[in-house]
């Protein structure tokens, strides 16, 4: 939508906002883009819809690139054990991500063996997805953790089988031409509207049983990946809004 640039409100006799070419309260400073929010949890008008409950064509097997082996039915998709992680065909960088998930209503196993999956930004940075409703495991592996690095600020899990929401703001790491880290990856995560990671810098791509680092530069974009950890986790309403670098 074209923005009106009629100076009816503002000032041009004020100092410049540091770091910008605009005066304080400048009436000609560009307007924020108009985005129509989604209705009842649906995607906003400018989102890239990755899964609408029926069409899984934005996804492929992470291993083979083939169409996914997960079940798609009744408005959701569900992990099928052994079919492997799935990832988006498109690549993304800095982004806002929304997805909804449900861990199995029938509780099986304990610790990391109960309702385990994961949301991998760039295919490398895992926000842990786990059934932690009355289920103990190591803190940096609980639901909402930057896996193996930072426990969530709260355990905001709903009961097994209930639909839950993840809202994630992810900033990809950047290196300079010499391979020196300029900015680490950063994650802000809401689980069921509760802040569980706040502008948290990751220590590097997430791993199991080892620490991480940024010694090996990687592209600032990559696929979004969801984990097959053997448990029948369900997903629906997945959308992403790429952010300007
Ligand atoms: Mg996991």
Q: Which domains does the chain have, with CATH numbers?
A: 1-32 (no CATH), 48-242 (2.60.120.560)
pLDDT of residue 3: 52
Distance 55 CA to ligand 1 centre (A): 24
| Selection from 21, 23, 89 nearest residue 50 by Cα | 89
Residue with tokens 């896996």: 147
Distance 226 CA to ligand 1 centre (A): 9
Give dist(CA 122, CA 227) in Å, integer.
13
Distance 21 CA to ligand 1 centre (A): 45
Distance 168 CA to ligand 1 centre (A): 16
Q: Any long-range contacts for 74-77 (C-beta under 8 Å, 24+ apart)?
A: 75/236, 76/102, 76/234, 76/235, 76/236, 77/51, 77/234, 77/235, 77/236
Give dist(CA 245, CA 35) in Å, integer.
19
- Say whether pLDDT at 198 is over 50: yes
Distance 228 CA to ligand 1 centre (A): 8
Element (H, E) at 169: strand 164-171
pLDDT of residue 6: 60
Which percentage of the chain shows pLDDT scores above 70?
97
Cα distances (angstroms) measured from residue 144 to each of 148, 167, 232:
11, 10, 18
- Say whether pLDDT at 245 is over 70: no
Q: Which residues touch 173 (CB under 8 Å, ≥6 apart)?
A: 181, 182, 183, 184, 185, 202, 214, 218, 220
Distance 237 CA to ligand 1 centre (A): 20
Distance 127 CA to ligand 1 centre (A): 8
Give the model's confidence band at 103: pLDDT under 50 very low, under 70 low, under 90 confident, else very high. Answer: very high
Q: What is the mean pLDDT of residues 46-72?
A: 98
Distance 22 CA to ligand 1 centre (A): 45
Write the burial class of residue 36 (CB in 10 Å: 0-12 exposed, 13-18 middle, 19+ buried).
Answer: exposed
pTM equals 0.92
Give the model's confidence band at 137: pLDDT under 50 very low, under 70 low, under 90 confident, else very high. Answer: very high
- Say whether pLDDT at 1 is over 60: no
**φ/ψ of residue 38, rounded to 5:** -70, 155
Distance 224 CA to ligand 1 centre (A): 14
Distance 175 CA to ligand 1 centre (A): 27
pLDDT of residue 30: 93
Q: What is the mean pLDDT of residues 179-193?
A: 97
């Amino acid at each position: 939508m074209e923005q009106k640039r009629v100076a009816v409100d503002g000032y041009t006799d004020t100092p410049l906002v540091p770091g910008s070419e605009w005066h304080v309260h400048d009436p000609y400073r560009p307007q924020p883009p108009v985005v129509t929010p989604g209705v009842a949890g649906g995607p906003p008008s400018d989102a890239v819809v990755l899964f609408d409950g029926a069409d899984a064509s934005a996804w492929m097997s992470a291993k083979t690139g083939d169409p996914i082996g997960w079940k798609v039915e009744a408005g959701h998709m569900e992990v099928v054990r052994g079919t492997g992680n799935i990832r988006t065909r498109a690549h993304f960088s800095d982004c806002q991500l929304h997805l909804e998930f449900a861990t199995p209503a029938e509780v099986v196993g304990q610790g990391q063996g109960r309702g385990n999956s994961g949301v991998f930004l760039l295919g490398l940075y895992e926000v842990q997805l786990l059934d932690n409703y009355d289920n103990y495991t190591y803190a940096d592996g609980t639901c909402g953790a930057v896996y193996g690095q930072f426990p969530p600020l709260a355990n905001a899990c709903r009961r097994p089988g209930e639909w839950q929401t993840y809202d994630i703001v992810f900033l990809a790491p950047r290196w300079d031409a010499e391979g020196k880290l300029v900015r680490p990856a950063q994650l802000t995560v809401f689980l069921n509207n509760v802040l569980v990671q706040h502008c948290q810098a990751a220590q590097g791509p997430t791993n199991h049983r080892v620490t991480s680092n940024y010694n090996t530069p990687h592209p600032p974009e990559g696929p979004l990946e969801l984990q097959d950890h053997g448990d029948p986790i369900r997903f629906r309403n997945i959308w992403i809004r790429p952010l300007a670098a």
